[in-house]
Copies of this chain bind each other. A is one copy, B any other.
């Protein structure tokens, strides 16, 4: 095994700037709460040794912006954040199309997922966000 797979290799992997254009939380849900509630979430992975300090901004179609929402992810941890749990400094509007802009002080990796339970059975989708 080479150095690049050495257990002690702690070089951070990821990017510091991420975007996701396809945000739209389904308003209705069918099924037991909270597990089957329709939602969208950011999945943040900080595999490095430093605390990651992030700012998330939501951009809407009408020019409105929500945030920036400050978030932290401790070293060597994952954190999943539902969009409707972003309430500080204020809750973002729901039921509208939005895009996500995320900036971090250290490299992280960002995945976005939607759970849609508007009809009886659930649909789900997920993609790694666009990072650079």
A125 engages B122 (CB within 8 Å): no
Determine chain A's interface SS by DSSP, over half rule: strand
Is the beta-carbon distance between B43 and A105 smaller than 8 angstroms?
Answer: no
Contact between B124 and A126, CB atoms less than 8 A apart = no
A45-B120 contact given A16-B4, A53-B1, A74-B63, CB 8 Å threshold: no
A17 to B62, CA, bound (A): 25
Categorize the interface residue count of chain A.
35 or more
Nearest-Cβ distance from residue A86 to partner chain B, whole angstroms: 16
Say yes or no: A22 contacts B113, CB within 8 Å. Answer: yes
List 7 additional A-B contacts (Cβ < 8 Å) besides A21-B111, A113-B125. A7-B68, A21-B78, A99-B109, A119-B120, A125-B126, A127-B127, A128-B130
